[in-house]
């Protein structure tokens, strides 16, 4: 298994030749990975002590998965229909850069995605027009760091991989060169 960081360096000349970049700095690369989850549904209708415990559990699991302390996100305004108040914790996020980012992506591509139930590849429609990839993960227990027996609340994750690509085609080519498992359609 070749490290993703080394693959990115080896893919740069091919991308430069294909798209005709004049400078090495114009070649698209992965800039950051954002792992995000919301737990508003898990804590709604519970007492403040139960809400705090649930939020702490989710932050702990997200910290274990990413290797970096998760940050709690709070509601910006009150919405009565969702039973949220301004300042109430509604989610958690982690922004990864550098070595931690590449380590997380290596584990995501080579270990976690193949463990996912009925995984047939990433759809190319997951890449947006700016060349960023967004993946939805239904259950966080697919990560090998999490022991399913000890988990009380199962939650989903959203992983956004931000690139310096300017177009969708550049982003798709970058991800394909890095070995992301896209579907053949």
Sign of the C-alpha dihedral computed for residues 167, 169, 172 and 178 taken in this order: negative
Residue 112 per-residue DSSP state: I
The whole-angstrom separation of Cα 62 and Cα 146 is: 9
- Determine the pLDDT at residue 68: 93
Average pLDDT of 30-55? 80
- Determine the pLDDT at residue 45: 62
Q: In terms of C-beta density within 10 A (0-12 exposed, 13-18 middle, 19 or more buried), how is residue 146 classed?
A: middle
Average pLDDT of 56-79? 89
Name the token pair of 29: 């690369």
Backbone angles phi, psi at 109, to 5 degrees: -75, -45
- Determine the pLDDT at residue 120: 84
Instruction: Let me know: does 137 contact 156? Beta carbons within 8 Å.
Output: yes
The pLDDT of residue 2 is above 60? no
Residue 81 per-residue DSSP state: G
Task: Work out the percent of the chain whose per-residue pLDDT is above 70.
Answer: 94
The pLDDT of residue 1 is above 50? no
pLDDT band of 133, cuts 50, 70, 90: very high
Average pLDDT of 165-177? 91
Tell me what the pLDDT averaged over the chain comes to.
85
Average pLDDT of 97-125? 87
The whole-angstrom separation of Cα 11 and Cα 182 is: 17
Q: Can you list the domains of the chain with their CATH numbers?
A: 32-177 (3.30.1440.10)
Average pLDDT of 85-109? 88
The three-class DSSP label of residue 47 is coil
Neighbours of 176 (CB within 10 A): 13
Q: Which residues of 91-105 are buried (b: 16+ CB within 10 A; e: fewer)?
A: bbbbbbeeeebbbbb
The pLDDT of residue 185 is above 70? no
- Determine the pLDDT at residue 158: 93
Count, residues in the chain:
185
pTM for this one? 0.87
């Amino acid at each position: 298994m070749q490290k993703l960081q080394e693959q990115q360096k080896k893919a740069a000349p091919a991308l430069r030749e294909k798209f005709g970049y004049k400078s090495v700095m114009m070649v698209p690369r992965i800039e950051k990975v954002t792992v995000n989850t919301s737990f508003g549904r898990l804590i709604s209708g519970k007492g403040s002590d139960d809400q705090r415990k649930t939020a702490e559990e989710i932050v702990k699991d997200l910290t274990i998965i990413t290797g970096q302390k998760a940050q709690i996100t709070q509601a910006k305004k009150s919405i009565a229909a969702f039973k949220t108040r301004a300042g109430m914790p509604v989610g958690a996020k982690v922004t990864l850069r550098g070595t931690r980012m590449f380590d997380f992506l290596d584990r995501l591509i080579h270990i976690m995605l193949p463990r996912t139930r009925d995984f047939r590849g990433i759809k190319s429609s997951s890449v947006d027009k700016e060349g960023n990839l967004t993946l939805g993960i239904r259950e966080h227990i697919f990560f090998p760091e999490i022991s399913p027996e000890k988990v009380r609340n199962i939650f989903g994750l959203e992983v956004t991989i931000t690139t310096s690509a300017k177009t969708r085609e550049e982003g798709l080519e970058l991800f394909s060169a890095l070995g992301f498992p896209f579907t053949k359609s």
